[in-house]
């Protein structure tokens, strides 16, 4: 295995700091290995009731990108796995999406890439101050794995409270970037940069003369700024009670 391949494997295997419970945890256990085989990693599984029952599976490449085509490929691979597992009794909508701009922060690398951006952090256990919810700018991450500590410059601190706090990521319950103008600008800049890098190759594929010379490339992929989503409706059948016999 080359060093680059080893690095990719290590990125795919980076553990999450948070975990689901109940049915969502069982879904995560099933889909995570399949996503890894495709070169993606699981971000989050969530069962939602908004606009009908929805199973949301959020995934990404190790660099944080996830295109619409990636979402479609992941959806096609996960759908039969979920059909076999049959964990959800009722009909539901399967939604495979990218993390989006105001993404959840679930791994050490997520926090490292978000240096300087504002985030909301909730701990499973309060600090000595009695507080477990924080909002502020990510200033640093020290340590590895569940021993890592997050340095946050609080934007919600009262005058009598410490503005700089160290949060143990082992106690992370939920983390999420705040959708700010700076975050949106950076996302748009990254999207334009990717488009610029791909434009020369796309231009070479177009004929210089003839009816196709004004046609853009339909196969060009770009990292998504908003979450890319691939949905499909599924019939659940799991967790149903066994049929009753006539004599019961």
133: in domain: yes
**Same domain? 32 vs 84:** yes
Least confident of 10-14, 60-64, 166-170: 10-14
Q: What domain count does the chain have?
A: 2
**Same domain? 91 vs 115:** no
192: in domain: no
87: in domain: yes
Are residues 197 and 59 in contact, defined by beta-carbon separation less than 8 angstroms?
no
**Same domain? 63 vs 12:** yes
Beta carbons within 10 angstroms of residue 117's beta carbon: 17
**Same domain? 12 vs 89:** yes
> Strand (E) positions, 76-228?
92-97, 118-123, 133-142, 149-154, 164-168, 172-177
**Same domain? 121 vs 94:** no
165: in domain: yes
Which one of 177, 193, 215 terminates a domain?
177
112: in domain: yes
The range of the structural domain enclosing residue 172 comes to 108-177
Distance CA 144, CA 87 (A): 34
Specify the CATH number for the domain of residue 155.
Answer: 2.30.30
Which one of 161, 177, 193 terminates a domain?
177
248: in domain: no
CB neighbour list of residue 78: distance below 8 Å, 6 or more residues apart? 31, 34, 35, 57, 94, 96
**Same domain? 158 vs 116:** yes
pLDDT in tens, 119-177: 999 999 999 989 999 999 999 999 988 899 999 999 999 999 999 999 999 999 999 99
Distance CA 211, CA 208 (A): 9
195: in domain: no
Beta carbons within 10 angstroms of residue 29's beta carbon: 15
191: in domain: no
Determine the distance from the C-alpha atom of residue 195 to the mean position of all C-alpha atoms in its chain, rounded to a whole number.
22
**Same domain? 89 vs 114:** no
Specify the CATH number for the domain of residue 46.
Answer: 3.30.300.70
Are residues 105 and 176 in contact, defined by beta-carbon separation less than 8 angstroms?
yes
At residue 216, the pLDDT reads: 42
**Same domain? 90 vs 155:** no
Alpha helices, DSSP H, located in the chain: 3-12, 22-37, 68-85, 108-113, 181-205
**Same domain? 75 vs 118:** no
Q: How confident is the model at residue 236 (pLDDT cuts 50, 70, 90)?
A: low
Single pTM value for the model: 0.77
**Same domain? 112 vs 32:** no
**Same domain? 93 vs 121:** no
Least confident of 94-108, 118-132, 188-202: 188-202
**Same domain? 93 vs 135:** no
For the segment 187-203, the average pLDDT, to the nearest whole number, is 61
């Amino acid at each position: 295995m080359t060093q680059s391949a080893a690095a990719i494997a290590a990125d795919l295997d980076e553990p999450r700091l948070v975990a689901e419970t109940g049915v969502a945890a069982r879904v995560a256990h099933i889909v995570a290995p399949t996503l890894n085989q495709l070169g993606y990693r699981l971000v989050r599984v969530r069962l939602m009731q908004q606009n009908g029952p929805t199973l949301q599976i959020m995934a990404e490449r190790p660099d944080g990108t996830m295109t619409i085509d990636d979402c479609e490929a992941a959806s096609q691979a996960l759908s039969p796995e979920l059909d076999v597992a049959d964990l959800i009794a009722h009909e539901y909508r399967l939604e495979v999406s990218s993390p989006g701009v105001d993404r959840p922060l679930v791994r050490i690398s997520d926090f490292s890439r978000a240096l300087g951006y504002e985030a909301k952090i909730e701990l499973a256990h309060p600090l000595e101050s009695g507080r477990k919810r924080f909002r502020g700018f990510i200033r640093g991450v020290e340590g590895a794995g569940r021993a890592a500590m997050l340095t946050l410059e609080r934007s919600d601190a009262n005058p009598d409270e410490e503005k700089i706090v160290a949060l143990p990521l082992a106690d992370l319950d939920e983390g999420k970037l705040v959708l700010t103008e700076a975050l949106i600008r950076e996302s748009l800049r990254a999207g334009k940069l990717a488009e610029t890098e791909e434009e020369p190759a796309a231009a070479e594929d177009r004929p210089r003369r003839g009816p196709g010379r004004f046609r853009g490339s339909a196969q060009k992929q770009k990292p998504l700024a908003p979450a890319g989503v691939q949905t499909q409706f599924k019939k659940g059948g799991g967790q149903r009670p066994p049929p009753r016999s006539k004599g019961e």
